[in-house]
Amino acid sequence: MPRLFVLGSSGWIPTLARQTVAHMIETRRGLIFLDCGSGIARLHDPLFQEMLKRHQRALVLLSHWHHDHIEGLAALPFFLGHMEVTLAGPGPEISGEKAADILARFGGAPLLPKPLPDWSELFSGGFNIVDLRPGKQNIGGEKVEVIVQPHTHPSVGLRVRDVAYITDTAERSESAAFAKGAALLLHDAWLDNEGAAEDGPNALVHASGSGAARVARAAEAKHLVLTHLNPAYDVARLERMFLAAAAIHPATQLASDMATFSFTGGDEAPTPTAAEPTESDAG
């Protein structure tokens, strides 16, 4: 049974409680990462150290190129150096450039010893960069579906292993159609109802917790996890946002770093195995 681990649940900047967005799915054939923010640092945990030893293949899927979704890339050779790694990000049809060309600007002297596309020798199993395009595709042996989303720069929604991942976009009916029947929906929840009512620029490019719940309800998703949380919100505000969302879609949980979900593609809903956020989760 696949398991999903929340490595980072914050947007924009890491806090003492939450690293920036990164999620990992463990399957029998390898690991799948949904975004690669600073949450990758959670792989230091002994639980993950043992898990990494069990696998030889990893697929890293990027929703877009903003820093909080890619700042963990520099750590991949440290954690995944013994693996065959495929890295896929929005390509020419979405971003106007090849993923490798965009990533070439990520490193190189004096920022890194060499540009990221030249990292093949750092992974004993090989390293490959792939362009994501709209629609269904096979990447690194996994069936991946991609939908283009409006954001300050285009982002993409991702669907793999019956997990739908929608981040950095507003509440959209297209997202509900894309996530139809998903066992697990991870959805952007940058805003609460108060923040959404302000109707500022963030409301055009991010969703509220309640908006995410409406998407999950329309999609008939088995379970909803609110992620990409606003680091400016304290625990009480996040709790109010969660309660408002749960009133719309009861099978909802607020993401917390190190939370774990087991799920199947059938009628069995994912089962959260981590505790709810505590007061130490304050932004």
Which pLDDT belongs to residue 267? 34
Least confident of 147-156, 223-232, 244-253, 266-275: 266-275
Q: What domains, with CATH codes, occur in the chain?
A: 3-259 (3.60.15.10)
Dihedral over alpha carbons 111, 123, 34, 255 (to 10 degrees): -80
Report the predicted TM-score, pTM, of the whole model to 2 decimal places: 0.92
Is the pLDDT confidence value at 278 over 50?
no
Hey, how many other C-beta atoms are within 10 angstroms of the C-beta on 238?
24
> For 100-149, how does the pLDDT look when each residue is reduced to its tens digit (9 = 90+)?
999 998 877 788 888 999 999 999 999 999 999 999 999 999 999 999 99
> For 4-32, how does the pLDDT look when each residue is reduced to its tens digit (9 = 90+)?
999 999 999 999 999 999 999 999 999 99
| Contact call for residues 80 and 36 (beta carbons, < 8 A) | no
Residue 157's φ and ψ, nearest 5 degrees, are -90, 145
- 214 confidence band (pLDDT: 50, 70, 90): very high
